[in-house]
Homo-oligomer: A and B are copies of this chain.
């Protein structure tokens, strides 16, 4: 498997790291790139992430046998529309969005007969720091990537998508877009929402700054994801709001149980609630993929 031409739409951390990884694995000959910001696409050339900066999506996609769409979820509909005419019928198109149902809906609305090109992907990787400057070829190593294939995809195309991610060190799983979004609302989107709210709850208090000075390693880790990029997470939470609200309702039920136990001084109930959480979390370990349990400690 070797691609003649990768078109990178969105030259940021995710896209840039994908390009670097593909190049390092010797899987691609030429990389064109487009970013909304001209400065960013020039920087991508300077850093050797892409070979050629293009002025628009269509120009970048022209002649590409592999296209990676790595823009914020909110910018995907217009990107799909912009590439439709330029997309080769045999091209493999993947996105890296953290939500999938909305991406599929946007693609369905904009790609027309080219919908079959798209194998939606969600590599579970990232950093708190965004931007092309932080791109690195190892970002996807030992990480899980979820593919949510469409009925329109060919077996050959799904296999190729899987091989690309595997070749750059990722562990590939398949899910439906719906199962994907329900799952990540539970284990990623809601935790982000809770971390954001916890930080805002501190800031809202007059003594909040003083409180924060005394916070320790527990708070550091608990709140790490609250430093995530606002525009990215606005899009993720908006796109998946129905599932996120469902998870929030589950969380509120669990929280109510703690509040009731605290208010009534029911220490036995409190201990039982904590014990349940502690046992589940102690038994849990980060899975790098179905075939590999090696934890990647980032």
Chain A contact residues, CB within 8 Å of chain B: 124-125, 128, 143-144, 146, 173, 182-184, 186-188, 190-205, 207-208, 210-231, 233-234, 237-238, 241, 244-245, 247-248, 250-251, 253-255, 257-259, 262-263, 265, 267, 270-271, 273-278, 280-282, 284, 286-287, 296, 298
Contacts and interface: CB of A to CB of B under 8 A. Distances in A.
A220 to B, nearest CB: 5
Contacts of A276: 199-200, 203
Nearest to A247: B201
The count of identical subunits is 2
Contact of A238 (B125, B205, B265): B265
A228 B245 CA distance: 27
A291 to B, nearest CB: 13
5 contacts: A196-B273, A199-B277, A200-B280, A221-B225, A226-B281
B198 A251 contact: yes
A191 B222 contact: yes
A187 B212 contact: yes
Contacts of A255: 193-194, 197, 201, 248
A198 B190 contact: yes
Contact of A250 (B205, B214, B267): B205
A254 B201 contact: yes
Contacts of A208: 186
